[in-house]
Structure 1
Amino acid sequence: MPPAAVTPEESLLREALDLAAQTDVRLIGREPLGAGTVAGFEVHDSSDPLIYYVDTSRRAVERETGLAAGEAADPEVRVWLHPADPHLPALAPLAFAHAAETLLARLGMHALGVPEIVAYRPGRRAVLRVPTDAGDVWVKAVPPARASRLAATHDVLSRAGIPLPELLGWSDRGVLALASAVGAPVAAVLGHAGTAGDAHEADVRADALLDEVDRLRSAFAGAALHAPARTRMRRRLEWYAERLAATEHPGRTATVRALRDRTLARWGRSESAVIHGDLHFGQLFVDAGGAITGVIDVDTAGVGDPADDPAAFIAHAVASAVLTPQPRGAGVWRLAERALARWAGDPGMGDRVAARTTTHLLGHALGAVEAGEADRAALLLGAADAVLTGDLAALSSTRDGADDAPKSRLTAPLDRV
């Protein structure tokens, strides 16, 4: 496998830490943030690997936690050691000190173990699982300025009938504590279903879940939220395409630019409704009958294009299926195909769904390229082409290479969604 290209962020990290040329530095993720990017790296030096983040967002923070260059109100670049994220000042205390234990005690619960970081988007949010005498509690760290809005969003959506986990408490320091979602994770249900039944049964199961998702989308549309959803899909398209086109690979530049141009041609004029903003099956929980009983991670919810949620759902299903070995991945492929047929075939929003699905898939492909996983990137770019052509047979054909695609920390296989 060829080595991943050195990114500008890696060069900044090596300079900031004065790393020797032979020091092993591995990119683990990169995404847009503010006016720039935030990129994570594993640094393998003489000690255990350490994770550093390089942040060129130019966003001001209350207090720097690592190295920074430029004015405090307009920093050019900063570097921090995980979990000391300056955008999430509550994260390090929650992870290492007694902050989580103190918070839970105020809520009448007793922590029974060490907090575990189970999800993290640098500069945006982190989720920690804390075992307590009342069951698992999920503690979320967010930028302090967003805590009150997120608590209010949670209240509005709950009153609209959306089955969110109970919000146990929150702090203006950027902390929210939530109970566990009710039901079984859809990812677990799909993994089990992928090994049983014939194609017709798989279609029936997929359609039943998609019916539930459509009902959930209608519930979101009826909620009284007024702030914009945090999706920024058009900006993400250009960001992903620019970086993919700049990678050194025969033919990839032309392929990516053609996909971008075809995507823009299908973009359409956005409509407005309240949406989840990042709706995929990893956010959903169901009961034994398949009804959705839990929805998590509504940080992105607000007014946006109704096509955004179906697009996120389809793209996440495709990316997960690429990473999930057969036969467990079969059910996810069928779900992706049925979702594409339903939503990209909708005469009212089909073009917009296809364009936004392709945008997400370009993002997944970029992650694969930056991890040095050219085969997986090719599968995802092929899926993006299939989405734009509406060729379900071509989308299905990406199964042929799925089992051999290398695994990545950037997109989880089904058993880790």
Structure 2
Amino acid sequence: MVAMDPSEPDTTQREARDLAELTGPGRVDIVRMALLGIDSGPREPADLDVDLHLSVEVDRVHHRPGAGVSVGYRVGYDDGGGARVNEYLVASTAPRLPESERVALLADGDRQVRVWRHPHDPALPGLAPACDAATVHGWLTDLGRPPAAPVRLDLVSYRPSRRAVLRAGAGDDSVFVKVLPPRRAEALYRRHEVLTDAGVPTPRVLACPGPGVLMIERARGHALAEAIAGAERNPGGLPGPDVLEAWLDSLPATVLELPARPSWADRIDFHAEAARAALPAEAGRIDRLETGLTELLARTPDGPKVPTHGDFYEANVFTADGGVSSVIDVDSVGPGRRSDDLGTMLGHVAVLPALAPHVYAHVPGIVKEWTAYFETRVDPVDLRARTAAVVLSLAAGTSPEQGAARLAVAEEWHADAQGRI
């Protein structure tokens, strides 16, 4: 099976159908059949135990247009002996997933759905050991950091078949365990090497204890989001826009030798399709925004390729005493446009007031100040168009209410860009 082009009507309709079935009432039958398939091999629906008292609650939905739908479920059922079993399962229509005995394959005509128990993700062979406290205890001991108490593991994030991040330990003694498909893990390790060798403030890779697993030190300082939230009571703790750009300036020229990754603006068709799937009632607005931004980006000057972070925003930037102390998630470091990094920062910060109005009521002033500085560094129209594209990319990964609010913010940036032509 090959990845599908999200621009094809059949693909859009197929994924809309998959999304509806994996999140709708049909999810219960999918999970029921998968449980039998994982445990006991193929069986007919008539063999099912009607007394399972099966409950299937949708936890998270991951939709990547053209690359399938994955849904995480909180599942509960009776084990037949009077005990209640609670598990986490994932169902996915993603193509090219590796075969595994730990995965149930459900086929229906031209569609295949694979279901597995967390943490047995077929694309992330390192996830199961990374979720085992005893195994991670051994990894930390091998690093010369044997825990004084049982290892505490917290799952920070999980995107089925793509990545997972766990925090091992607590406080200053914690490290992060990042799990990726093995080839992507090798590429990430190379990026960390380039930055560490150049002395760029970013966490070091401590070890690679298994296929696709990187143990990474804890970033120094606090997330920029905290400095933004507290900017009114502690203005000295908030780095200025020039300080943020100085970290980008510290990226070495060797970054230009790394493979380039498409920016959010480069994949505006992908993100617009995801937004339409998440906000079908707003499809017309999204169509107009996608068309307008595509036209704007085509006419703005294409600046020189420079070293870029690729995902430069307030959750990935850490600060201390008004400076940048570290920057995490360097998966996308490579050649690109400075306006994409600056637009990514502006776009993410611009949506904070809608997320927590009381905490971030003062943020529009910060955005205005940062925009005024950034537009002296890159083309002002290009900056605003790329900021709008970033905000559009954020519309699908949240609640419908937040998605609609982000769509409105993207429209404001687009209108501001058009007004400066």
Q: TM-score, normalised by structure 2?
A: 0.76
User: Which aligned pairs between 1:8-87 and structure 2 lie closer than 5 A?
Assistant: 9-10=22-23, 13-18=27-32, 25-26=57-58, 28-32=60-64, 35-43=66-74, 45-46=76-77, 50-61=87-98, 63=100, 65-68=102-105, 76-87=112-123
1:319 corresponds to: 351
User: Judging changes above 3 Å, is the alpha-carbon distance between structure 1 residues 123 and 331 closer, same or farther for their aligned structure 2 residues?
Assistant: farther
Paired AA for residue 390 in structure 2: H
- Judged with a 3 Å threshold, the aligned counterparts in structure 2 of structure 1 residues 125 and 77 are, in CA distance, closer, same or farther, namely same
Q: CA deviation at 1:62?
A: 6.5
1:102 and 2:138 correspond: yes
Q: 1:110 to 1:383 in 2, by over 3 A?
A: same
Distance 2:284 2:62 in 1: 23
1:362 corresponds to: 392
Q: How far apart are 1:231 and its partner, in Å?
A: 3.9
Partner of 1:167: 205
Contact 1:109/1:132 (<8 A) preserved: no
Higher RCO (CA < 8 A, seq sep 6+): 1
* Distance of aligned partners of 1:104 and 1:246 in 2 relative to their CA distance in 1, 3 Å threshold: closer
Q: Does the CA-based 8 Å contact 1:90-1:141 persist in structure 2? A: yes
Compute the displacement of 1:230 (Å): 3.5
Aligned to 1:187: 225
The RMSD of aligned alpha carbons is 3.5
Which amino acid counterpart does residue 10 of structure 1 have in structure 2?
T
How far residue 174 of structure 1 moved from its aligned partner, in angstroms, is 1.2
* Higher Rg of the two aligned structures: 2
CA change 1:40–1:351 in 2 (3 A) is farther
Could you tell me how far 1:85 is from its partner in structure 2?
Answer: 1.9
Amino acid at match of 1:30: H
2: CA distance, partners of 1:61 / 1:114: 30
For 2:194 and 2:146, locate their aligned partners in 1 and report how far apart those are by CA, in whole Å.
29
Q: What's the offset of the Cα at 1:15?
A: 4.9
> Which range moved further: 260-269 or 54-63?
54-63
Structure-1 separation of matches of 2:337 and 2:86: 41
Task: Work out whether residues 74 and 86 of structure 2, in 8 Å CA contact, stay in contact via their aligned partners in 1.
Answer: yes
Write out aligned runs for 1:326-345 (5 A): 326=358, 328-343=359-374, 345=375
SS of aligned partner of 1:266: helix
Secondary structure at 1:211's aligned position in 2? helix
TM-score (norm 1): 0.76
1:339 alignment partner AA: W
Instruction: List per-residue Cα deviations over 1:53-73 (Å, max 9, x = no partner).
Output: 333331343746422357xxx
Tell me which moved more, 162-171 or 216-225.
216-225
Match of 1:88 in 2: 124
Report whether the alignment pairs 1:228 with 2:254: no
Shift of 1:110: 1.3
Structure 2 counterpart SS, 1:78: strand
Q: Using a 3 Å threshold, how does the CA distance of structure 1 residues 133 and 264 change in structure 2: closer, same or farther?
A: closer
Going from structure 1 to structure 2, the CA distance change for 1:23 and 1:39 (only over 3 Å counts) comes to same
- 1:132, distance to aligned residue in structure 2 (A): 6.9
Q: Aligned to 2:156, which of 106, 118, 132?
A: 118
Whole-angstrom distance in 1 between the partners of 2:220 and 2:182: 27
The Cα of 1:331 is off from its aligned counterpart by 4.2
- Cα distance, 1:272 vs. partner? 2.2
The answer to which of 4-13 and 99-108 deviates more is: 4-13
Conserved in 2, the CA contact under 8 Å of 1:109 and 1:134? Answer: no
* Residue matched to 1:152: 190
Deviation at 1:247, TM superposition (A): 6.0
Q: Distance in 2 between matches of 1:312 and 1:302?
A: 15
Match of 1:394? none
Deviation by residue 1:123-169 (Cα, 9 ceiling, x = unmatched): 22222111279711112112112233222211111222311123211
Closer/same/farther in 2, CA of residues 227 and 242 from structure 1, 3 Å limit = same
Is the 8 Å Cα contact of residues 255 and 335 (structure 2) preserved in structure 1? no
CA drift at 1:77: 3.9
Can you list the C-alpha shifts for 1:70-95, whole angstroms capped at 9, x where unaligned?
Answer: 7xxx9954222333222221112211
Q: What is the aligned length?
A: 370
* Separation of aligned partners in 1, 2:267 and 2:96: 18
- Please give the alpha-carbon distance, in whole angstroms, between the structure 2 residues aligned to 1:243 and 1:8: 17
Taking the aligned partners of 1:334 and 1:81, their CA distance within structure 2 comes to 46
Query: What's 2:284 paired with?
Result: 254
Q: Any stretches of 5+ residues in structure 1 without a counterpart?
A: 392-417
How far did 1:385 drift? Answer: 1.0
Q: Which runs of 5+ in 2 are unaligned?
A: 1-15, 34-49, 78-83
- Secondary structure of the equivalent of 1:117? strand
Instruction: Check whether the contact 2:177–2:215 (CA below 8 A) recurs between aligned residues.
Output: yes
Which amino acid in the other structure matches residue 357 of structure 2? P
**Distance apart, 1:17 and its partner CA:** 1.7
